[in-house]
Chain A
Amino acid sequence: DTEVTQTPKHLVMGMTNKKSLKCEQHMGHRAMYWYKQKAKKPPELMFVYSYEKLSINESVPSRFSPECPNSSLLNLHLHALQPEDSALYLCASSQPGQETQYFGPGTRLLVL
């Protein structure tokens, strides 16, 4: 089973709202990733967690706050977002030392 699940599928939020995106995998992977993808562009890496510790932050604004409560769950907390943050947010997972990343279906976010 190579499934990564993400909820919600769609999210509309105002600039003053606080919301969270959730990602889950049950493949025993110990590395998890958040990507942002704008229309007609490739995914851009935001954060990497390895063994539940943040290992890479690609200079993402603090209005995005990741959290890895356990080895199968990854959250992305959103606060005071801007309209330009509207995008598809993709989660992925892999086994550390094995480079193949498996992606979830994404959450399509619209910030009004």
Chain B
Amino acid sequence: AQSVTQLDSQVPVFEEAPVELRCNYSSSVSVYLFWYVQYPNQGLQLLLKYLSGSTLVKGINGFEAEFNKSQTSFHLRKPSVHISDTAEYFCAVTLGGGKLIFGQGTELSVKP
């Protein structure tokens, strides 16, 4: 069975600093990988996805992620964060068929 582990439940960072949110997955077959962001009192917004092809994926709001098959990781990065990036971030994986498996989430808190 697949599973997703987000290694940090909370990440505090100062504005304009770089950030990395870590995600590892467990699966014996090929997977599709996603990062979603959830701002307070809102739904989930797709940040980026890896389906196939280039392992470096660029998303919205200046975020990017790198798929590393050997380390079964899909870490999310941003070189310079803003206050407005404060939100909950979810990594998710699917084998297909509609079942998304989410990690527990990482709360990114950007401080001035």
Contacts and interface: CB of A to CB of B under 8 A. Distances in A.
Interface of A: 2, 4, 6, 31, 33, 40-43, 45, 48, 50, 55-56, 90, 92, 94, 96-97, 99-106, 108
Contacts of B98: 31, 33, 48, 50, 55-56, 94, 96, 99, 101
Contacts of B96: 97, 99
Contacts of A42: 90, 102-105
Listed from nearest, the 6 A-B pairs whose CB atoms lie closest are A42-B102, A103-B44, A105-B43, A103-B43, A99-B32, A48-B98
A31 B105 CA distance: 25
**What interface size band does chain B fall in?**
20 to 34
Interface stretch (B16-24, B45-53, B70-78): B45-53
A40 B63 CA distance: 22
Interface string B68-112: 000000000000000000000010001010111011110000000
Nearest to B32: A99
B42 interface: yes
A90 B43 contact: yes
A19 B99 CA distance: 27
A100 B49 contact: yes
Nearest to B31: A99
B99 A103 contact: no
Contacts of A41: 104-105
B51 A99 contact: yes
Interface in B1-54: 32, 34, 36, 41-46, 49, 51
